[in-house]
Amino acid sequence: MRLEKKATVVSTSVATVLVLIKMAVGILSGSVAILASAIDSFLDLTVSLFNYFALHSAEKDPDDRFHFGKSKIEPLAAVIEGTVISMSALFILYDAFSKIQHKQEITMLNESIAVMVVSIILTVGLVIFLNYVANKTNNMVIKADALHYKTDLFTNSAVLLAIGVISFTDFYLIDPILGIGISIYMLYSAYPIIKEGILMLLDVAIEEEEYQMIVDILNNDKDINGYHYLKTRAAGSDVFISVHIVLTPDIKLYDAHLIGDKIEDKIRKSFQELEKQAHVLIHLDPYDDTDINKQEDFF
C-alpha cells in the first residue's frame, strides 16, 4: 500500500475515534459545543474516506475509457477538501457573530475540557504524521488533509483556551473572538490548496525548476541538433511531457529511436528522484519544422 493511502487510513481511524468520544460525551453531558465538534469530526471522517478512495482510484492503470489514467482525481479531491475547509470557515465565522449577538454561553465546562484535551493530543499526532507524508510524497490530497486537521487543531485549541478563560473569568466573548480569527486563518490557508488543484485540472505546466531540468537534459544531449514544442502538464504525482527533437536527416530510424529512448529514460529517472512518474512522448524530426508546422500538439 502506498504511503499516501496509509496516511488516509490513519486519518480515517483517528477521525472515527474522535467522532465516537465527542458524540458520547456530547450526548451524555448535553453539551452543544461538544456535539457541534462531533459533527465537525464526522465531516473530517467523511473527507478522509473520500481521500482514500480518491487515491485508490488515482493509482489505477489506464484503461479503455481513461487512456491517461485517473490521476486527476488527486487535484479534484484537493479542490473539494479546500472548498470544505472554506465552507467550514464561513460557518464558524457566522456562528461566532451569532454568539456575539445573542451572548450564547458555553455549558458543561469540565466535560468539554476533557474531551478537547483528548482531541488535541490525537490531532497533534495525526498532523505530524500527515505533514511527514506530505513532505515526502508532495501529494496534494495529503497536503489538503494535513491542512484540514491543522485547522481542526487550531479550532480545538481555541475552544480549549476559550473554555479555560471562561472558567476563570466568565469572559464569554473570548469564544467568538477566537472563532473569527480561526475562520480567517482557515480561509487564508485553503486558498492555495484550491488554486493549485484548479490549475492542475486546467493542465498547468510543471514548476519552472522541473521544466528547466528537462531543458538541461535536452541541451546537454550531443546526439540531437535541437528541439522544439516542449510541453508539460501535471496530474497529481504524474507528469506528462511531449517534445520534438531534431536529428540528422539521413539517420537510420533504428538509431533515431535509440536516441529518443535514451532521452526518455534520462527524463524519467530525473523525475523518479523527485518521487514523480514521468510519461514522455518524443517526436522525431529530421529538421526543425517550427516555421512550417504550426499545428499544436495535445498531450
The domain limits of the chain are: 3-201, 208-285
Position 99 pLDDT exceeds 80: no
Q: What share of the chain in percent tops pLDDT 90?
A: 26
Q: What CATH homologous superfamily does 208-285 map to?
A: Cation efflux protein, cytoplasmic domain (3.30.70.1350)
Please name the residue that has the C-alpha cell 474531551: 115
CB–CB of 180/90 below 8 Å?
no
What confidence tens digit (pLDDT) does each residue in 3-14 have?
Answer: 888 888 898 899
The rounded distance, in Å, linking the Cα atoms of 224 and 226 is: 6
CA angle 18–23–24, rounded 5-degree value:
105
What confidence tens digit (pLDDT) does each residue in 154-196 have?
Answer: 777 877 887 788 778 777 777 677 778 777 877 887 888 889 8
Taking alpha carbons only, the member of 124, 121, 148, 189 closest to residue 51 is 148
The rounded distance, in Å, linking the Cα atoms of 225 and 244 is: 11
pTM over 0.75: no
Position 298 pLDDT exceeds 50: no
The rounded distance, in Å, linking the Cα atoms of 19 and 37 is: 8
Q: Read off the pLDDT band of 29 (50, 70, 90).
A: low
Q: Read off the pLDDT band of 281 (50, 70, 90).
A: very high
Architecture of the domain made up of 3-201: Up-down Bundle (1.20)
Amino acid at position 104, single letter = Q
| 298 DSSP 8-state letter | -
The rounded distance, in Å, linking the Cα atoms of 39 and 50 is: 17
**Long-range contacts of range 248-256, CB-CB < 8 Å, 24 or more positions apart?**
248/286, 249/286, 249/287, 251/286, 256/284
SS3 280: strand
SS3 232: strand
The rounded distance, in Å, linking the Cα atoms of 180 and 226 is: 57
Cβ count within 10 A of residue 259: 17
